[in-house]
Amino acid sequence: MDEKKSADASCALSCSECSIRNCYRRDRKYPDFCLTSQYHDAVEKTRELYTSDSVDGRLARAAAEIEGEYYGRLTRLEETIRFAKKLNVMKLGIASCIGLLDEASLYAKIVRTAGIETKTVICKVGAIDKTEIGLPDDLKVCPGCNESCCNPALQAQVLNEWGSQLNVMVGLCVGHDAIFARHSEAPAVTFIVKDRVLGHNPAAALYTAKFYYKRVLDEKTFPEPRKHS
Ligand code: SF4
């Protein structure tokens, strides 16, 4: 086996290929490639982290409590608000996509009904045209028009300056969510994941991948990216 094939083979064995999942109940035997076994020291560090009074510790315990108290009974909408209340959040920031601003407005109203202050920042805040960041005009949805790029770093900055204690992402694009999470000082959770085709339910592509959406299992569906410079 050459080096590349060997690397591919070792990459192939991780949790996504494990049918044992002994890390959940600890009532079986770990597989040879098990990450729990390989990362023994790191496991101990994270045990300390989650039992500490750090932000991560408080988030971890609050998340586990929400799961335990409401398992299978509350929607994600309700869970995010219960999670915020468990953390004593008084100021909740909302980073919204322009395409889901109606949903964000309703979400903000519901959060305020629960007694938590909100501030919403739309993705187009700052109004910087896409061509100003190097995008060719013909890649705009509407070529020739001003079309502002999403500005997740500014969304985060506005919420940081407001002093949000928890930020909620509502429909941010793939990639813009990553920038927002990098710049958000408060912990950032997702309420809606954008999927323009599947009604914001990206998992539907997996549920239908064996028949209607079988194209996702064809490598021709994912060619090398086009170059635009
Ligand atoms: S951590 Fe180990 S037991 Fe758990 S899913 Fe991954 S490989 Fe399987």
CATH at 170: 3.40.50
Distance of CA 204 to the CA centre of its chain: 17
Q: Are 152 and 214 members of one domain? A: no
Q: Are 188 and 207 members of one domain? A: no
In which domain, by residue range, is 187 found?
90-194
Ligand 1 atom closest to residue 14's alpha carbon, by position in its atom list: 7
Total tally of structural domains belonging to the chain: 3
pLDDT averaged over the chain?
Answer: 94
Q: Are 116 and 62 members of one domain? A: no
Q: Are 190 and 226 members of one domain? A: no
Q: Is residue 20 part of a domain?
A: no
Report how far ligand 1's centroid is from the alpha carbon of 221 (Å).
30
Q: Are 179 and 106 members of one domain? A: yes
Contact 28, 22 (CB under 8 A): yes
Residue nearest to atom 6 of ligand 1 (CA): 15
Distance CA 155, CA 158 (A): 5
CB-defined site of ligand 1, < 6 Å: 15, 18, 20-23, 30-31, 34-36
Contact 11, 5 (CB under 8 A): no
Q: What is the pLDDT of residues 42-94, one digit of tens each?
A: 999 999 999 999 999 999 999 999 999 999 999 999 999 999 999 999 999 99
Tokens read off for 114? 């629960």
What percentage of the chain reaches a pLDDT higher than 90? 93
Q: Are 159 and 118 members of one domain? A: yes
Q: Are 172 and 133 members of one domain? A: yes
> In this predicted structure, what is the pLDDT of residue 228?
79
Could you report how far apart the first and last alpha carbons of the chain are, in Å?
Answer: 38
Name the 3-class secondary structure at 144.
Answer: coil
